[in-house]
Amino acid sequence: GTTIMQPVSVDDFDDYLLKYIGYNHKLALLLDYDGTLAPIAPHPDLATLSPEIKNVLFKLSNHSDVYVAVISGRNVDNVKKMVGIEGITYAGNHGLEILHPDGSKFVHPMPIEYEDKVSHLLKALQDSVCRDGAWVENKGALLTFHYRETPVQLRPDMVDKARSLIEKYGFRATEAHCALEARPPVEWNKGRAAIYILRTSFGVDWNERIKIIYVGDDLTDEDAMVALKGMARTFRVTSSDIVKTAADHRLPSTDSVYTLLKWVERHFMGRKATAT
């Protein structure tokens, strides 16, 4: 059976992070949004940031030694609106779009035929599986089929049908929390996006120049945890101890992500005083 994971305290992060981060490196903080910074909600619009998390993120984003990026499955303008902090990096659609603090934007090239296919797939999903509380979110380059509100007994058939439609139109179907994502078949994911962000922000030798923390709660975050293995401290937000993960540590909830951010704030604010 599963054991319930204990909540973490600020001091636990001394063990996890102190030796790794030390006292003379900059830190890049790469964070997922849904289920990491904000609790999973019945509808994406309801997954809002708590004032406490927003406050600590804002303070960290203004610290000269801390770089903050939010890497989400939402589209990039939406995740920026949900977080609402200027001067940090936002990546949307699992990194297919990246908005840098200076306003410049990276958009991963999309095979031209997929731009038409998105609208055809959207219509096909709406016609055949959008009922009993299920709906499709149009994120531009990708679509997400949500079934959180669908009665449990109706889900298996509906998800099978949605998956076969997604694959029929040439997209990859990937599992998310009570959702299925249709992603274009490009070799790009949160791992590649994370490395692209680090390289563009810190140069090709980023790995020698900075320390990195990555926090996420989903299968798509595992791509980043694998890509950053040995070069970062990674945390998977999950209340289960049997979920398979490439992360270095597990955190039981978004509350413990707040605790992690408070630790980072305490460490860097304390450090500032020692440096002067």
The string of pLDDT tens digits covering residues 40-83 is: 998 899 999 999 999 999 999 999 999 999 999 999 999 999 99
> Does position 276 have pLDDT exceeding 60, yes or no?
no
| 16 in any annotated domain | yes
Element (DSSP H or E) covering residue 192:
helix 190-202
| 5 in any annotated domain | no
Final residue in a domain of this structure, among 150, 183, 216:
183
Residue 79 to residue 230: CA distance in whole angstroms? 28
Token pair 């599963």: residue: 2
pLDDT class of 110 with cuts at 50, 70, 90: confident
User: CB neighbours (10 Å) of residue 81?
Assistant: 11
Task: Show the domain range for 125.
Answer: 112-183
The string of pLDDT tens digits covering residues 255-272 is: 999 999 999 999 998 875
Average pLDDT of span 121-142: 93
Residues 71 and 137 in one domain: no
Average pLDDT of span 137-163: 94
Residues 177 and 193 in one domain: no
User: CB neighbours (10 Å) of residue 117?
Assistant: 16
Residues 98 and 200 in one domain: yes
Report if pTM > 0.75: yes
Q: Give the phi and the psi of residue 126 in degrees, each rounded to 5.
A: -60, -40
> Does position 275 have pLDDT exceeding 60, yes or no?
no
Token pair 């002067």: residue: 276
